[in-house]
Amino acid sequence: MNIIGHFINGQIDTQSARTQAVYNPSTGAETGHVALASAATVEQAIKIASEAFPSWRDTPLIKRVRIMFRFKQLLEENSEKICQLIGQEHGKIAHDAMGELQRGIENVEYACAATEFLKGEFSKNVGPDIDSWSEFQALGVVAGITPFNFPVMVPLWMFPMALVCGNCFILKPSERDPSSTLFIAELLKQAGLPDGVFALINGDKEAVDTLLHDPRIQAVSFVGSTPIAEYIYATATANGKRCQALGGAKNHAIVMPDADLDNVVNSLLGAAFGSSGERCMALSVAVAIGDDVADQLIAKISTEMQKLKYGAYSDQNNDFGPLISSAHQAKVVAHIDSAEQQGAKIVVDGRHAKVKGYEQGFFVGPTLIDAVRADMSSYQQEIFGPVLQIIRVESMQAAMQLINEHEYGNGTCIYTRDGEAARYFSTHIQVGMVGINIPLPVPVSYHSFGGWKRSLFGDLSAYGPDGARFYTRRKTITQRWPAADVREKTQFAMPTLN
Ligand code: NAD
């Protein structure tokens, strides 16, 4: 049996009392078993990382950065293999996997700029002969827990930054598609990272709970669904840990009457159905201003949807692949059923998708639903499938109210040619990442990524400048070296320069 193990102390470890099946979602076939770490295995990795920490923290920054430069090169040299592994277990088509990897590599590139962003702050003569500076120190051993939908990119949001900042890192990736993540962990060793500084633990709740409760773990980054994000944030912070927990989403696009509908259709198709809708930034709701816009949009997009190709990850001609599991496929179908039962109109129906030669694959075809209302469960909950819902409203204000009242606030977009409307929208909308004629406004690596409301728990966003702050602790030092013959007077008032 193919056992997908852990990576601890620079070695693959496949010993495990418990395992879980891993599938190829394109064929529906079981391809291996992933080891599920016991608490003892996780504790062992934490012990090794704690011992590795002092010397890694004290390694000159430029040496830590050089390892990241080599790691970036290895990711590029091994890109085809990485995308193949993503495709096999996630189902993503190679061109989409390559996009994921490239976005991840950009986070490694940003981490390589640590000699700039970890310089700290210095002020000379803040008082007579007194200088003051702030430095950003490593936290210790930190952990990351990541979702199935970006098995390479989301881990790369976390550990390159944490490592260059001088921390040791324990990664707990998704148990549903672990092989690509395990492979990049091995590349870290090839890049020269000392054993013990980084560990990858495969597992489920037992492994996560061990990380959340162990006092040696200083900080936890989480990306996944909102109910789990809430649990992670509450537990980690109750145990005194720094935590950022990114959750789910419901991303709306407002289509204004002045928008160029052909462009809107082209960009909505990719943003709604790319990666089978399994993206936290997928655009899953189009809010049309007025019935004319809605009718035209539906006519154009439903025609274009007939041309979409979906199927096995290995066929580069496909636009998107299967869903992650048969359970998730059933959940997506149940959402479409519920929309229909609650009075919405299924314009294009992907529920009975069949792909020739891949009859057991976990496919749902592209689905378009009209006449969706805010009280429907398919609107309130995240579907995470290739389903685009249309809501009709009378005004931009009504559209914004709808978005602002939704419990999620990850991403949103407005399609318009009116600069005033776009500016008003970006200023007042209660969402963390906003696109103006951009359907997937995923910030580049030198900005930071994070939603509002129940899409992010914690004060800092992921990666970029916020990532550097999350993985370090500020220390501010004020110093004076008085001359040997200078005697200071006792001063009881709060020191000032007045
Ligand atoms: P998930 O919440 O099921 O799993 C995420 C991680 O949590 C996995 O490592 C999993 O093993 C672990 N986990 C699951 N159940 C747990 C439990 N009961 N206790 C402790 N740990 C547990 O999420 P998923 O299905 O893998 O990923 C999809 C979700 O992630 C979607 O909701 C999507 O919107 C979200 N997501 C958000 C972002 C973002 O940046 N906001 C990015 C990617 C994905």
Choosing from 154, 176, 225 the residue with most ligand 1 atoms within 8 A of its CB, the one to mutate for a pocket test is 225
Decide: 172 in ligand 1 pocket, CB within 6 A: yes
Decide: 454 in ligand 1 pocket, CB within 6 A: no
Beta-carbon count within 10 A of 426 CB: 14
Give me ligand 1 centre to Cα 225, in Å.
4
Per-residue pLDDT tens for 181-219?
999 999 999 999 999 999 999 999 999 999 999 999 999
Per-residue pLDDT tens for 14-32?
998 999 999 999 999 999 9
HSE, side-chain direction, 13 A CA sphere, residue 371: 10
| pLDDT over threshold 90, residue 496 | no
Per-residue pLDDT tens for 141-181?
999 999 999 999 999 999 999 999 999 999 999 999 999 99
Max CA-CA distance within the chain? 90
Between the alpha carbon of residue 456 and those of residues 23, 401, 409, 434, the distances in Å are 30, 20, 8, 15
Nearest CA to ligand 1 atom 40: 246
Give me ligand 1 centre to Cα 173, in Å.
10
Give me ligand 1 centre to Cα 202, in Å.
14
Nearest CA to ligand 1 atom 20: 205
Decide: 410 in ligand 1 pocket, CB within 6 A: yes
Interhelix angle 179-190/61-77, rounded to 10 degrees, is: 130
How far does CA 389 lie from the centroid of its chain? 23
pLDDT cut 90: percent of the chain above it: 96
Please, what is the Cα angle at 83 between 190 and 264, to 5 degrees? 135
Average of per-residue pLDDT across 443-463: 97
CA 433, CA 450: separation in Å to the nearest integer?
Answer: 7
| pLDDT over threshold 80, residue 387 | yes
CA 127, CA 177: separation in Å to the nearest integer?
Answer: 57
Decide: 148 in ligand 1 pocket, CB within 6 A: yes
Q: Where are the domains of the chain?
A: 3-247+455-477, 251-436
Residue 396 pLDDT: 98
Please, what is the Cα angle at 219 between 206 and 171, to 5 degrees? 50
Give me ligand 1 centre to Cα 109, in Å.
26
| Closest ligand 1 atom, residue 455 Cα | 41
Per-residue pLDDT tens for 84-143?
999 999 999 999 999 999 999 999 999 999 999 999 999 999 998 899 999 999 999 999
Between the alpha carbon of residue 102 and those of residues 150, 167, 220, the distances in Å are 12, 24, 25
Handedness of CA 59, 62, 68, 70 (dihedral sign): negative
Decide: 382 in ligand 1 pocket, CB within 6 A: yes
Decide: 235 in ligand 1 pocket, CB within 6 A: no
Q: What is the CATH number of domain 3-247+455-477?
A: 3.40.605.10
DSSP lists the bridge partners of residue 248 as none
Contact between 7 and 168 under an 8 Å Cβ cutoff? The reply is no
Confidence of residue 401 (pLDDT cuts 50, 70, 90): very high
Which CATH class, in words, describes the domain spanning 251-436?
alpha beta
Mean pLDDT taken over the chain? 97
| pLDDT over threshold 80, residue 498 | no
Per-residue pLDDT tens for 409-423?
999 999 999 999 999
Residue 413 one-letter amino acid: C
Residue 487 pLDDT: 83
Nearest CA to ligand 1 atom 23: 224
Nearest CA to ligand 1 atom 24: 147
Q: Is 112 a catalytic residue?
A: no
Give me ligand 1 centre to Cα 131, in Å.
46
Give me ligand 1 centre to Cα 171, in Å.
14
